[in-house]
Amino acid sequence: MRIVSLMEDTACAPAFACEHGLSFYIETNGAKLLFDMGQTGLFVCNAARLGADLGAVDTAFLSHGHYDHGGGLAAFLKINSRAPVYVHERAFEPHFSHKPEGVKEIGLDSALAHSPRLRRVNGVTRIDDALTLFSDVTGVDCVPQGNRTLYERVDGQYVPDRFLHEQSLLVREGDKAVLFTGCAHRGVVNICARAGELLGRAPDAVVGGMHLLSPSAGKSEPDEAIRAVAARLAQTGSRYYTGHCTGAHAFGVLRETLGERLECFAAGSVVEIG
């Protein structure tokens, strides 16, 4: 399995664009996949530089209803005329962030909500033998404190976002399984645990953000909270490729425990699993 970081907050070389966002291109023996689409269409430029043919993507996935993961959806739909895009049925509901200047909407472009290309799902969705989406994460361990600045709207009132719109993806190839997490707002520990239940074991690799940095507040989770996450992740045999909302400080703290099992996955980076 070949995984390419098309977009992340940092880049591995000056030739690649970066922005606050996330996008991964995934190639298996049988499919070409896209997981998230960044904040804008910049991921398309990186894809061209990296030889990732977005027009040939078979299936696309959107991890949750925030602009930094789905802002490039329109650009993808323009380039690719056939791939279905799997979204959670609540992804296009309004979502908000409490920023220094006040509460701001951070959701998806509502004009795309009724695109015939969208496949709305919920719970566990087994697309085929290799691909499983799931949003039914019930664990409450090590949930990021940064979620406190993120809201949904119920009966006209801002309330803490429950992240019911967040989904993760399991990709299997041969005897390998990789978990893609998006931002892991429900807690990377809980998402990994649910993936383990679905697989019957821990995934071989986990790719995505861990939401240990709050972009709106500009603060990392407390070190003791990060170390608690690291301790739980260390109990598995998984490798971790992360960035985006994990943050540089949290990455350093996690690496104290996880060592070389944790790698930064900046825009332009490529990893082979298997």
User: What letter does residue 261 receive in the DSSP assignment?
Assistant: G
What is the predicted pLDDT for the residue at 218?
A: 79
Q: Confidence class of residue 140 from pLDDT cuts 50, 70 and 90?
A: very high
Q: Is residue 25 a contact partner of residue 38, using CB atoms and an 8 Å limit?
A: no
Mean of per-residue pLDDT scores for the chain:
97
Q: In the chain, what is the straight-line distance between the N-terminal and C-terminal CA atoms, in Å?
A: 6
What is the predicted pLDDT for the residue at 101?
A: 84
pLDDT tens digits for 37-60?
999 999 999 999 999 999 999 999
For tokens 């909407």, the residue is: 105
In this prediction, what percent of the chain has a pLDDT beyond 90?
95
Q: Is residue 119 a contact partner of residue 62, using CB atoms and an 8 Å limit?
A: no
- In angstroms, how far is CA 132 from the centroid of its own chain? 15
What is the predicted pLDDT for the residue at 27?
A: 98
Here the tokens at position 100 are 């220094």
Kindly report the backbone phi and psi dihedral angles of residue 151, in degrees, each rounded to the nearest multiple of 5, phi listed first.
-130, 160
For 136, other C-beta atoms within 10 Å of its C-beta total: 12
What is the predicted pLDDT for the residue at 17?
A: 97
Instruction: Write down all domains in the chain, each with its CATH number in brackets.
Output: 2-272 (3.60.15.10)
Where does residue 247 rank: exposed (0-12), middle (13-18), buried (19+ CB within 10 A)?
buried
DSSP line for 130-166? SEEEE------TT--GGGGGEEEEETTEEEE---TT-
**Secondary structure (3-state) at 28:** coil
Model confidence at 217: pLDDT above 80: no
